[in-house]
Amino acid sequence: MSEYHIPVLLAESISALVTNPDGTYADATFGGGGHTAAILSRLNGDGRVIAFDRDIDAIERALKDPRLTLIHNNFRFIENYAEQLRRQKAEAESSGPAVFDGVLADLGVSSHQFDTAERGFSFRFEDAPLDMRMNREAAQSAAEVVNSYPEEELERVLRLYGEVDGARNMARLIGQARAQAEIRTTGDLDRAIARMLPKGAEHKVLAKVYQALRIEVNQEMRSLEKFLEGATRSLKEGGRLVVITYHSLEDRMVKNFIKTGNVEGKVEENIYGKVQSPLEAISRKPILPAEEEIAANTRARSAKLRIAERRKCNE
């Protein structure tokens, strides 16, 4: 059995995140618990980690540590839990939900999800159920997307979230295939779009298609936007936001948010001409994995680490 998940950019992310051994930290994407364990190793007895994951498989493999609270929910709701934590600490009502010394999010799909055939995240398994739900209790699966979305909507998903060339033609092929028989498995989908897969580069195109469907099924872009907003409001002044991205769409959103305070990158200035962003980038360029890490874990090759700090209110 393969390891549940190998944490990416572990040393770099944790050293940037943990600045106070007595602090309270959030791991917004618990996964296999690698990042959480590393955070806990840097905290003393008064430190605390609040971790989130919507995948019950991850929840069931939780670490046993009294300093850890694990929440089975989408990280987009981080601010709700920050507010609860603030009330537990009986802080002043006017202080707001700024309780975290640092928030970490690793936006990658876990190795366990990719390597478990019945989850349907990977085209490596030909006849796996076309599922892709990170929360297995969610209503909509990838099969429902490909079988029920109008072709125009399928085209939008493929173009926007997968940057698929020929998205319109691919959506048409899916429409033709499902008219003959329901597309239920990864193999059904692969065969439906086979004419659009260039010889020798099939996996590259399939990766884009599966990425697009996964993002749509799990509403990843909307969740990321809500997470960035909530996490920022939940950070103490000087607290760190540390995010690891894996594709250009999410990295652009994180970069824009750090720079401007919104995922669109719309610059808003105050009366003094200063950009109105609650965050300040720690480094202008993202941190990339070392060659040694990529050699040991090929899934790290597209990772980018961005680090920002919550500005003081009067800055």
| Tens-digit pLDDT profile for residues 2-23 | 355 689 999 999 999 999 999 9
**pLDDT surpasses 80 at 42:** yes
How far is Cα 231 from Cα 211, in angstroms, rounded to an integer?
A: 25
How far is Cα 52 from Cα 38, in angstroms, rounded to an integer?
A: 16
Average pLDDT in the chain: 89
Taking residues 26-43, report their average pLDDT.
95
Residue 92 pLDDT: 45
Q: Compute how many other C-beta atoms are within 10 angstroms of the C-beta atom of residue 165.
A: 13
How far is Cα 12 from Cα 10, in angstroms, rounded to an integer?
A: 6
Q: What angle do CA 250, 120, 298 make, to 5 degrees?
A: 55
Residues of the chain with pLDDT > 70: what percent?
A: 88
Helix (H), strand (E) at residue 222: helix 220-234
The b-or-e profile of 104-113 (16+ CB within 10 A means b, else e) is bbbbbbbbbb
DSSP state of 163: -
Amino acid letter, 97: P
Q: Are 14 and 292 in contact (CB under 8 A)?
A: no
How far is Cα 309 from Cα 119, in angstroms, rounded to an integer?
A: 36
84-99 pLDDT tens trace: 888 877 554 545 558 9
Band of residue 171 on the pLDDT scale cut at 50, 70, 90: very high
102-160 pLDDT tens trace: 999 999 875 555 455 555 555 555 788 898 888 878 889 999 999 999 999 999 999 99
Between 90 and 208, name the one with better pLDDT: 208
- Residue 130: name the closest of 178, 164, 75, 73 by CA: 178
How far is Cα 41 from Cα 35, in angstroms, rounded to an integer?
A: 10
Expressed in angstroms, the distance from the first to the final Cα of the chain is: 51
Residue 32 pLDDT: 86
How far is Cα 213 from Cα 216, in angstroms, rounded to an integer?
A: 5
DSSP 3-state of 211 = helix
pTM score, whole prediction? 0.88
